[in-house]
Amino acid sequence: MEQHNEIKVFEPTADTDIKVWFKAAPVHAFPENGGACVKYKDLQIAVFNFSRRGEWYACQNLCPHKMQMVLSRGMIGSLDGKPKVACPFHKKTFSLTTGECLNAEECSISVFPVRIEDGFVHIGFTQ
């Protein structure tokens, strides 16, 4: 499901002060119900087109478990109605709204707000 001209914002953790909306790529560059990786400065960002929910999410691509750049290839799903991604390597699972690890003691990950505007995915950063 493509969403054009619709602005949808998911706020990450509190106190985030978005200064840059990075125009990442057109929405059709992201597979439905899957993820793809984009680069912003020296960061790899996993972007998820969660079309089953009609939502988009972004988080760091780096899995903190074994420091692998793999989260964009993770499986997305819902836990108690909340969106999550499971790392493809050892299935550590992270909330896509708060970044917290949901099934282990791993560190949390950074999540970023996403908005869709004029058919493009924009990701919000604080710098």
87 contributes a contact to ligand FES by CB under 6 A: yes
CA distance to 10, 13, 26, 27, 44, per residue, from 99 (Å): 13, 8, 25, 23, 15
Vertex 25, ends 126 and 91: CA angle to 5°?
Answer: 75
Query: Scanning the structure block, which residue is given the tokens 């760091």?
Result: 60
| 115 lies in the binding site for ligand FES (CB under 6 A) | no
Return the residue of 3, 16, 33, 68 that touches ligand FES, per CB under 6 A: 68
Beta carbon nearer to ligand FES, 49 or 61: 61
Residue with smaller CB distance to ligand FES, 92 or 122? 92
CA distance 30 to 18: 23
Sole window of 20-28, 48-56, 89-97, 111-119 interacting with ligand FES (rule: CB under 6 A): 89-97
In the complex, the residues that contact ligand FES under the rule CB under 6 A are 63, 65-66, 68, 87, 89-90, 92
